Chain A
């Protein structure tokens, strides 16, 4: 069996004639040069150290201004975000705990008569067949205040 170490893995064994790639040309065809590109008159004379320095200075100013605008933008977004969160979000959305608190504190004193006034009785369909002894016991236990009210009257 031939060991992998005995195989010549030298990739340089493929050779091309000397200067082969240097000589690749679009042969038989007259060499076309990309001509026709022009520059404004005396253009290269205007490219000097002062121009580069000025451009560098200007780009620094633009970068500074850009950074300033970017930071102002971020600050504005944060302020608006806090404003919206503080003034609109909380007042418009109720959490479950808040609803339960409201129910406990505001509705706890309501008697069954108060509930009757709140809801239209005709909308309720009571199926007495589904009520069992436990339901009646629960009613008697919890409607004590109603009995009291009746006795008082």
Chain B
């Protein structure tokens, strides 16, 4: 992608907006989809959230102050959309977000868009034992191999706090994996 500031200017310009948005969509739809999918687990939910994320990006691009990178801004919107989705689903079913995610993990065995083996399922369960923030940090660092600086921009948390969260998350997951692999 060309110089980011120039590209953002094109996204804000009415004349070039549609074309630029198409480029943006092509570049980010897949990584953003997977980011959302790993949070909400279900394909249909991820599809809805992905669309809402890009609608929000499209609507809010004129208010984007370029204080962060464009990609971290989009990830932040996607993360917030996903978390809000889980919260509203929990509210609708009179449950907590954690309970909703456990139920979602249990549904994976029957999910037509999931064909992971038992180890994958157990790994998913282990990730779900983490609090939301630790889960997000673990996902972004361990799986997506993002830099702490970028994760910090996305989650709005200091790098130090993120490193501590990641350290704890890795320890917990490691413990769970050892348990899984021992049996």
Contacts and interface: CB of A to CB of B under 8 A. Distances in A.
Contacts of A29: 174, 177-178, 181
Contacts, number: 84
A52 B21 CA distance: 10
A25 B171 CA distance: 9
A7 interface: no
Contacts of A59: 55
A55 B52 CA distance: 8
Nearest to B123: A32
A138 interface: no
Interface of chain B, main secondary structure: helix
Nearest to A50: B22
A56 interface: yes
A125 to B, nearest CB: 62
Interface in B134-173: 142-143, 148, 163, 166-167, 170, 173
B123 A34 contact: yes
Interface of B: 18, 21-22, 25, 29-30, 33-34, 37-38, 41, 43, 50-52, 54-55, 58-59, 113-117, 119-121, 123-124, 127, 142-143, 148, 163, 166-167, 170, 173-174, 177-178, 181
Interface of A: 21-22, 24-26, 29, 32-40, 44, 47-49, 51-52, 55-56, 59
